[in-house]
Amino acid sequence: MFFFKKKPNLFNHSLLSSVPTPADQALIFICEKCGKKLNADPKLNPALLLQQSLKKEIKEKNLKGHVRAVASSCLDICPENKIAIGISYGEKAGDAFYTANPSNPIMLKDEILRLSQNKE
């Protein structure tokens, strides 16, 4: 059953406004659901810990506005005992998706930051 008298036009500029991207080099998406499967405690969720660690490193390296790390819902990759990570490099460079074992968060954080700045 349709609840609207008239179907809304999603391309109507009064409904949507284009805004600049929050990062000009890369957006890093970390699947929160993968982390929850590895540890249900929100304080120990490895995906959230990785995201927080990346945000701190981005700020320390003055990459704010260039690289942004966000926790996301399911990326539909669902690796066994790993975390799904997506990096969007923008329209011209495309996207890349990875799975990662969160057992060494420092090395993982460093590798993700390296990839976010140098699309291979």
Rounded distance between C-alpha atoms, residue 44 and residue 46, angstroms: 6
Q: Quick one: CA torsion of 6, 8, 14, 16, rounded to 10 degrees?
A: 180
Overall CATH class of domain 26-117: alpha beta
Kindly tell me if the per-residue pLDDT of 67 is higher than 50. yes
Q: Quick one: CA torsion of 37, 50, 89, 18, rounded to 10 degrees?
A: 80
What is the domain partition of the chain in residue ranges?
26-117
Instruction: State pTM to two decimals.
Output: 0.81
- 97-106 pLDDT per residue, tens: 999 998 888 8
Q: Which two tokens stand for residue 17?
A: 């406004």
Rounded distance between C-alpha atoms, residue 82 and residue 34, angstroms: 7
Q: Which two tokens stand for residue 90?
A: 């923008």
Q: Which two tokens stand for residue 57?
A: 């490193």
pLDDT band for position 58 (cuts 50, 70, 90): very high
Rounded distance between C-alpha atoms, residue 52 and residue 46, angstroms: 10
- 23-57 pLDDT per residue, tens: 889 999 999 999 999 987 878 899 999 999 999 99
CA atoms within 13 A on the CB side of 74: 5
